[in-house]
Amino acid sequence: MQTDSSFTFVLFGGTGDLSMRKILPALYEAHRAGGMLADSGKIVAVARHIEDRGEYLQWVNEHVKPHVSKNGLDETAWASFLARIEFAKIDLGNPDDFVLLRDAIKDLPGIRVFYLATGPSLFVPICHALASVGLNANSRIVLEKPLGYDLKSSNAINDAVGEIFAEEQIYRIDHYLGKEPVQNLLALRFGNVLFEPMWRREWVESIQITIAEELGVEARGDFYDNTGALRDMVQNHLLQLLSIVAMEPPHSMDSDSVRDEKLRVLRALKPIDPRDIGKVAVRGQYHSGVIRGTAVPAYATEAGVKPDSATETFVALKVEIENWRWAGVPFFLRTGKRLADRVAEIVVNFRAVPHSALGASALRAGANRLVIRLQPNETIRLYCLAKQPGEGMNLASVHLDLAFDQFFREGQMEAYQRLLLDVINGRLALFVRRDEQEAAWRWVEPILDEWKTSTKPPKPYASGTWGPAAASAMLAQHGTCWLEEEN
């Protein structure tokens, strides 16, 4: 991916955790690769508690350097990367300071990208301050999640930002859309004739999408206790992945063609009757337990969490899509903290053969399945049955590995690296459009409302397990189970 696009990348929240772990390392990797970032491109970090550029570069060396380059640090590339970085000391609560920012970047080249790696409460004030000094024209703005607390607050932020920036200037980021296996899912579906005839209700029995974490809330107890897993993971990541899995083939890969098809899926989600929420939605909260041999505390005892909190740390959902392709096919979504493993994957379970001359094993559910692993190791595997060596016709599960690293010499691009390059180069396809976001909020809102008023607490589950038993029972009713131990 070569580019001549010059840019000035302004990073609000320049000393935050996201900047330290993801954004600056991703920009370094693009710089180190050569040709991905225009030589004239500049990065301007914005922070309040650092005095000048020299002090900021010391911070970068101390805090960012440990998070770059899995294959070792290139000191020459690192030094030239630091040369790209400028610094502006700005108090985001003081609009007058944005005059200093305008003056600091007025002579820097190329398209201006403003990345808001801050809390959502600062999105609108920052946008107003940028507009007050004329920095909203001919620029792009990147908004991190969460974008609002519910449909009403999301619309309020979008309305306010939309008064200052046009929709084509707004990049709502969801890093799962930048992951290599998600890109390969699109290639797999729309670049090959093999899968498309089977990607429908006649051949697919069910689909699972899981994002599981071993970590708890860590130091984010205050934030998480007012958010919960439904807002934090389902409304954005999981529903975006579902829409890519279920979308119709777009006529091209331009931004609106792709996002139009995702929107059709989100609008086709079967509305949830509040009376049925107990049947199709499971919420849980982790108790104490053991993760990889280490005892971990219950959610209610974490710092910043209310002792009587009813906030969910686990969600499992049964979702249906009311359209011709997917009618009757259940989509099972699952996410949680303090689970047995860190894994994100999509599992497509194909139907069993209609009649088997080879014995009962050929009729079992899930004998044929496609597993798209997003993390920790990014792979795509196709499972099928084959004859075991020896006498008789005994079948065993085998798999075909789509090992892309054996076909392509270059390493896989990290999600943030791909998405940041797309922002700089003006590619919107992998970013969430406002109408997509509204459709997702509208679908989850009945669940949010029911859980907010419910007197039933979240179902408990021990840390280090796969969540409440009710999540497995929900799948058992459909004759299937979660795929939980996949190497």
pLDDT in tens, 261-270: 999 999 999 9
Q: What is the pLDDT of residues 210-219, one digit of tens each?
A: 999 999 998 8
Q: How many CB atoms lie within 10 A of CB 182?
A: 22
363 or 291, higher pLDDT: 291
Q: Is residue 254 domain-shared with residue 328, that is, in the same domain?
A: yes
Whether residue 424 is contained in a domain is answered as no
Helix (H, G, I), strand (E, B) or coil at 121: helix
Q: Is residue 139 domain-shared with residue 259, that is, in the same domain?
A: no
Distance between CA 351 and CA 346 in Å, rounded?
16
Query: Which of 119, 144, 169 delimits the end of a domain?
Result: 144
Whether residue 420 is contained in a domain is answered as no
Whether residue 418 is contained in a domain is answered as no
Whether residue 341 is contained in a domain is answered as yes
User: What average pLDDT score do residues 315-340 get?
Assistant: 97
Q: Is residue 232 domain-shared with residue 138, that is, in the same domain?
A: no
375 or 446, higher pLDDT: 446
Q: Is residue 360 domain-shared with residue 448, that is, in the same domain?
A: yes
Known binding residue 213? Answer is yes
Average pLDDT, the chain: 91
Q: Is residue 132 domain-shared with residue 228, that is, in the same domain?
A: no
Known binding residue 434? Answer is no
Give catalytic residue positions. Answer: 237
Q: What pLDDT score does 392 carry?
A: 76
User: What average pLDDT score do residues 4-8 get?
Assistant: 84
Query: Which of 99, 122, 144 delimits the end of a domain?
Result: 144
Q: Is residue 339 domain-shared with residue 208, that is, in the same domain?
A: yes
Q: Is residue 352 domain-shared with residue 459, that is, in the same domain?
A: yes
Known binding residue 175? Answer is yes
* Residue 296: strand pairing partners: 289
- Provide the pLDDT confidence category of residue 73 given band limits of 50, 70 and 90: confident
Q: What pLDDT score does 95 carry?
A: 84
CA torsion through residues 133, 136, 139, 140, sign? positive
Q: Is residue 206 domain-shared with residue 302, that is, in the same domain?
A: yes
Q: What pLDDT score does 4 carry?
A: 59
Tally of domains within the chain: 2
Q: Is residue 181 domain-shared with residue 136, that is, in the same domain?
A: no
Q: What is the CATH number of the domain that holds 124?
A: 3.40.50.720
Whether residue 171 is contained in a domain is answered as no
- Provide the pLDDT confidence category of residue 3 given band limits of 50, 70 and 90: low
Q: Is residue 109 domain-shared with residue 202, that is, in the same domain?
A: no
Whether residue 231 is contained in a domain is answered as yes
Two tokens at 296?
């971990």
- Provide the pLDDT confidence category of residue 169 given band limits of 50, 70 and 90: very high
Query: Which of 90, 125, 144 delimits the end of a domain?
Result: 144
CA torsion through residues 85, 126, 116, 216, sign? positive
- Provide the pLDDT confidence category of residue 105 given band limits of 50, 70 and 90: very high
Whether residue 440 is contained in a domain is answered as yes
Q: What is the CATH number of the domain that holds 296?
A: 3.30.360.10
Q: What pLDDT score does 71 carry?
A: 65
Whether residue 112 is contained in a domain is answered as yes
**Domain assignment of residue 80, given as a range:** 7-144
On the question of pLDDT at 421 being above 60, the answer is: yes
- Provide the pLDDT confidence category of residue 35 given band limits of 50, 70 and 90: confident
Is the CB of residue 262 less than 8 Å from the CB of residue 240?
A: yes
- Provide the pLDDT confidence category of residue 485 given band limits of 50, 70 and 90: low
Q: How many CB atoms lie within 10 A of CB 444?
A: 23
Known binding residue 452? Answer is no
Distance between CA 90 and CA 10 in Å, rounded?
12
Q: Is residue 117 domain-shared with residue 231, that is, in the same domain?
A: no
Known binding residue 256? Answer is no
Known binding residue 63? Answer is no
Q: Is residue 444 domain-shared with residue 318, that is, in the same domain?
A: yes
